Amino acid sequence: MSVLGLSPKTFESYGRHIAAISLHFGRTPLELSADDVQEYLYELQNRSKTPSQTYFKHTVYSLRFLLKNEGLPYDHLLLPAIKRENKLPVVLSKEEVWRMICTAQYLKHRILISMIYGCGLRCFEVRNVRLRDLDFDRECLHVVQGKGKKDRYVPLSKHMIRGLKTYIEAEKPQHWLFNGQPNGGTDNCYSQRAVQWVVKQAAKAAGILKDVHVHTLRHTFATHLLEDGLDIVTVKDLMGHERIETTMEYLHVARNNPHRAFSPIDTLFEQCARKQK
């Protein structure tokens, strides 16, 4: 996994699932029969009234990786196909994003939310922004080693730059833009849990009933850019997507089509109101 450049998070996840099935049977998955694996997966699905589909999927993914690494086909253990959920992302309105930024309690939190939304950053990307990644003269942020070990540049709004300068002057971070320790320190960036908490609290304070996560702001970034008229290829590059098909998902959410669908109740009200007059 290290040689292939997989992330530490993937390394930990796959290792944990392979260890779990190995401990369950007292031998490695490569020594198991297809029936053993089917029985184990069945137990996972029926372990509780609400089994974790994420845990189940990651177990299958880790077994797939193990087989692939050994040059064995997936049907060696009769691994099931994992259907991709066809869910559209939750997207906020501009008014909702604005409320989140305004109701966040601290300047640090307001800048954090603004960075995620304004630059379309993933959680680990915003946590790992360093002061040297900010280029105020060229008005851009250098996202270093994002998903897939790829760098990219994203624009920094003039409003964002003003806010960042105010924040840096007040908080005086030394290395990471968002330190995990209140008084500086160069060894700890903001934790994933802390970022998630900030976003959740801001959404709650703003009175937003939608299920808001850190990635919701990234979805909203892409959707708002499309609605504002930016072409999809540029949006793909700003998001750091490898495939255009991933970005095209946002076309189903963006409301920038001049012939977009409408409700018949609108025309019903218009026609009936005219007749009554």
pLDDT tens-digit series, residues 38-77: 999 988 888 765 556 788 889 999 999 999 888 888 788 8
Per-residue confidence band for 255, with pLDDT thresholds at 50, 70 and 90? confident
Q: Compute the distance between CA of residue 173 and CA of residue 179 in angstroms, rounded to an integer.
A: 7
Q: Compute the distance between CA of residue 151 and CA of residue 163 in angstroms, rounded to an integer.
A: 24
Per-residue confidence band for 81, with pLDDT thresholds at 50, 70 and 90? confident
Q: Active site includes 193? A: no
User: What's the CATH superfamily of 94-252?
Assistant: Intergrase catalytic core (1.10.443.10)
DSSP code at position 130: B
E-strand ranges in 124-260 read 134-135, 140-143, 152-155, 179-181, 184-189
Q: Active site includes 218? A: yes
pLDDT of 160 reads: 95
Instruction: Choose the catalytic residue: 24, 147, 200, 213.
Output: 147
Q: Active site includes 122? A: yes
Q: The whole model's pTM is what?
A: 0.74
DSSP code at position 192: H
Instruction: Choose the catalytic residue: 17, 127, 218, 224.
Output: 218
The mean per-residue pLDDT over the stretch 241-267 comes to: 78
Per-residue confidence band for 164, with pLDDT thresholds at 50, 70 and 90? very high
Q: Active site includes 250? A: yes
pLDDT at 182 over 60: no
CB 127 within 8 A of CB 220: no
CA 242 to chain centre: 15
Q: Active site includes 147? A: yes
Q: Active site includes 215? A: yes
Ordered by start, the domain boundaries in the chain are 8-76, 94-252
Burial class from Cβ neighbours inside 10 Å (0-12, 13-18, 19+) for residue 57 reads middle
Instruction: Choose the catalytic residue: 57, 58, 64, 122.
Output: 122
